[in-house]
Amino acid sequence: MELRAEIVQSWRRAELSGLSPTSPADRLEVEDVDVRSRLLRAATPVLDEIERQLHDTGLCVILADRDCRIVARRYGDRSLERVLDSVSAVPGCRYTEETSGTNSVATPYELRRGVAVHGEEHFLDALKCFTCYGHPIVHPATGRLEGVLDITGLVDDSNPLLAPFLLRAVADIERRLLDGSNQAQQRLLAAFQAARHRSSAVLALGDDVVLANRAAVDLVDPADHPLLRELSRTRRGVRRLRLASGTEVEVRMEAVSVNAGMLFELAPVRPAYPGVARRRALGGVLPPDVEDRLRRSAAARRRVLVAGEPGTGHTAATAILAGAEPLARMDAADVPVRGEAEWCARLERLAAGHPGLIVLRDVHLLPPVLAARTARLLDASPAWFALTSAPVTELRGEHAGLVARVHRRVELPPLRDRRADIPALARTLLAGLHPDSTLRLTAGALELLAAQPWPGNLRELETVLADVADRRSAGDITARDLAAACPVSTSAPHLSGWEQAEYDAITRALAAVGGNKVRAARQLGISRSTLYNRMRALRITPNR
């Protein structure tokens, strides 16, 4: 049988997840379902009407949420319930392609469009007895994927009218989502207006709405929204935090009904420090304390080792060190091109006569013999050197001996440890890419950027911004513009330090093996099922 291109691609994704056609489909993990969710509240009346219309047919309708977790089923004939139970198509089960292969719940979720899957087109043998059609449910106001609606029957019950029937139901659910969103916005507006009478600065954040009075507009930058949303996970209470401007504020926060949003009442406690405000105006990409250490080292012409993961700002750090002094750079990656003799000769010439800063980049890439020779040169030369390298904990042998010659060290933190800084950094990098442009990152775009793991650090962030800026030369850059390059949604949970380390290890392993989850599990030394469970818990969605 010749398969359609979209089915072939789906089968390939299932294979990369470690599935085979004979994989069992009756052992998938079942989780609790939030019966008060916005999707279920909107869909329940529609599902009840569908159940009435399907009476005495061999068809079933399945609803999955934005995580592709089945949350409801409706039947025309209860006999189909036992068949679906046997393949884990039950409420609480996450029915993605990585767990269930090609089907019309998982594949529309992947492709974000309607897909029919008939009989032999299913990847798992256990599902080949079904014919089905599924279609994504998209919120009309926000454009966000809210779930998938699927109609399923046995192969003998195939009917060309299944797709139009389901599309009408999807449209009804989407309309009810919009109505429910409007009601939530009204409740949020009422809470906002009430708070304006008792507080000077009031901000309300909903899923797709932001309300602020004049005092809040002056005080809170859109770059602060991700921090406030993260803070609001505690739901209510009073906290102190420092805004992007450097101003310290006391924040009183309160949830507004179910899923309506959060209300923030802000009171300044301490104004921005002049030094903080000055640095932010300059638009630096390094943490202020790192910049201060570099400037102090530059004033004393001290040798410095700048260590950190690739893309964390080595070039920016050495530029701060050099200041107005002449700057000469030598890159360890040039050794195979120039040859060791020529590379060493140039280094010796610079050490003998260069009046400013000499930067040796990526010294961890030097051949061991050359690293030892460079170490001896540092011992004998009074020249002003700066070295850049991978994190010091990763250095061994001659490379560890080389960096030991430099007693002042500056560690550059990875971007994942600077999540609160990401919105401001994104604006700085965008302004640097297009100084005369009117491009602006919306609050939603800033939140999406702040949610990403950024394994490539500042360099990866700059690349993403450069790409979207090339496609949009003016106006607002929205979350939708960034979606293709940002796989982690803003609904991902806040992670503890241990969970963040686990998240980083899994995402690095997946990236190293091209998304193959079987090989990633083997590399991590865990079972495939453990990897799937941790990916679900940490909301890891690898690039496809």
Q: Is 280's pLDDT higher than 50?
A: no
Which CATH architecture does the domain made up of 5-180 adopt? 2-Layer Sandwich (3.30)
What are the tokens at 16?
């990369």
* pLDDT at residue 277, as a whole number: 39
> What pLDDT digit, counting tens, does each position of 189-200 carry?
888 988 888 878
Q: Is 72's pLDDT higher than 50?
A: yes
> What pLDDT digit, counting tens, does each position of 195-234 carry?
888 878 999 888 767 888 888 888 888 778 877 877 776 5
Q: Which amino acid is at 206?
A: G
Neighbours of 388 (CB within 10 A): 26
Whether 308 and 392 have beta carbons less than 8 Å apart is answered as no
* pLDDT at residue 310, as a whole number: 93
* pLDDT at residue 208, as a whole number: 66
Helix (H) or strand (E) holding 358: strand 357-361
**Which whole number is the average pLDDT over 375-396?**
93
**Residue indicated by tokens 């599924």:** 134
User: What would the DSSP string read from start to end of 400-456?
Assistant: HHHHTT--EEEEPPPGGGGGGGHHHHHHHHHHHH-TT---EE-HHHHHHHHHS--TT
Q: Does the pTM exceed 0.85?
A: no
- Tell me the CATH class for 288-411: alpha beta
Name the average pLDDT for the chain.
85
Backbone phi, then psi, for 290, in 5-degree steps?
Answer: -65, -45
**Residue 544: pLDDT band with limits 50, 70, 90:** very low
**Residue 64: pLDDT band with limits 50, 70, 90:** very high
User: What would the DSSP string read from start to end of 139-196?
Assistant: -TTT--EEEEEEEEEEGGG--TTHHHHHHHHHHHHHHHHHHHHHHHHHHHHHHHHHHH
For the chain, the domains span: 5-180, 198-274, 288-411, 415-485, 497-537
Give the fold, CATH level 3, of 415-485. Helicase, Ruva Protein; domain 3 (1.10.8)
* pLDDT at residue 281, as a whole number: 36
Helix (H) or strand (E) holding 347: helix 340-353
Query: Cα(385)–Cα(406) distance, rounded to whole angstroms?
Result: 9
Q: What is the CA radius of gyration of the chain?
A: 28
> What pLDDT digit, counting tens, does each position of 330-351 carry?
999 999 999 999 999 999 999 9
What is the number of residues in the chain? Answer: 544
Query: Cα(448)–Cα(491) distance, rounded to whole angstroms?
Result: 9
Backbone phi, then psi, for 408, in 5-degree steps?
Answer: -105, 120
Whether 334 and 427 have beta carbons less than 8 Å apart is answered as no
Q: Is 185's pLDDT higher than 70?
A: yes
Q: Which residue has the higher pLDDT, 126 or 416?
A: 126
Query: Cα(76)–Cα(52) distance, rounded to whole angstroms?
Result: 8
Q: Is 160's pLDDT higher than 80?
A: no
**Residue 57: pLDDT band with limits 50, 70, 90:** confident
* pLDDT at residue 288, as a whole number: 87
- Do strands 408-411 and 304-307 pair parallel, antiparallel, or not at all (unpaired)? parallel
In angstroms, the first-to-last Cα distance of the chain is 26
3-class secondary structure, 306:
strand
Q: Is 126's pLDDT higher than 90?
A: yes
Whether 465 and 434 have beta carbons less than 8 Å apart is answered as no
3-class secondary structure, 498:
helix
What interhelical angle do 340-353 and 368-380 show, nearest 10?
10
For the structural domain made of 497-537, what CATH number should be given?
1.10.10
Helix (H) or strand (E) holding 357: strand 357-361
